[in-house]
Amino acid sequence: MKRLRDRYEALLLDLDGTLYRGAAVIDGAPEALVGAQSSAQRLAYVTNNASRGPETVAAHLAELGYPATPDDVVTSAQAAVRLLVEKLTPGAAVLVVGSEDLAAEVATAGLTPVRRYNGEVPAAVVQGHSPDTAWADLAEAAYALRSGALWVAANTDKTLPNERGLAPGNGSMVAALRAASDLEPVVAGKPFAPLLDDAVARVGTRAALVVGDRLDTDIEGAARVALDSLLVLTGVSTLDELASAGPERVPTYVAHSLDALNHPPVDDEADLDLAERLRRHPGRAVTVRASRSEIR
């Protein structure tokens, strides 16, 4: 029987809650992903977190034991800036609510990052996670949005897993700005299509498996772009949440850890509940629904 990973030409891997929590690596994940049992398939690291650039993300992954170069990293900041470039003229001013790495992405794309709305309305507001975002930053963005600026959010994750638990994510800050502006952003990150579309373009194949820990971003995002998905129970979402999830948030497979990639999935025993199937087959993924993949 084929290992789960051998059914696919590429893995589109979430980071926070899937490969690490904050600065702490998830036990066994590097060995499961790139150890002796790994394969030659393309790995892409696909993150909704817009606070760090590809170089910084790749360096962090390498420190934790994952083989990564900046070209392997696809961020919601990149996807958000791509959307801005498609909608704005070169050199247009973009008010940045987020990190300096997000501002650098804006500048690299030929747009002009600004931090304050000083009377001349910026063409757009781009919002990504930063632990330094404060009331003053949100106020500047609210003034710009109420004056007609386009609003692009890198992602809307309500929480961000770290080594201490669940911290407020960019979605919590987006919610504050939504309340202040009475507007809705264009969203680049999962579960919306732009980020995963960029990841598919990067790996050059649609025979890809989305791997992540969140039903509301990774799994729903995979469904929106018609890709298979694996939910790993190492981060945010739980089996109880999966039991009550709508059809758009049902993964192809569920497993306790990434090591399930290195074993054949359990495709039968559908008469048993998921918890029992996982208990009977430790270390393996359980098939939840039929595959969407072009590889059958």
Q: Could you list the active site residues?
A: 14, 16
**Residue whose structure tokens are 């919002």:** 127
Q: 59, 28 in Cβ contact below 8 A?
A: no
Q: Would you state the structure tokens that stand for residue 193, as one six-digit string? A: 């299509």
Tell me the C-alpha distance between 284 and 287, whole Å. 10
Beta strands in the chain (DSSP E): 10-13, 20-21, 24-25, 42-47, 73-75, 93-97, 112-114, 124-127, 150-153, 159-162, 165-168, 186-187, 208-212, 228-232, 253-255, 286-287
Query: DSSP secondary-structure letter at 261?
Result: G
* C-alpha closest to that of 98 among 61, 137, 66, 59: 137
Helix (H) or strand (E) holding 191: none
Q: Would you state the structure tokens that stand for residue 227, as one six-digit string? A: 């890709």
Tell me the C-alpha distance between 213 and 228, whole Å. 14
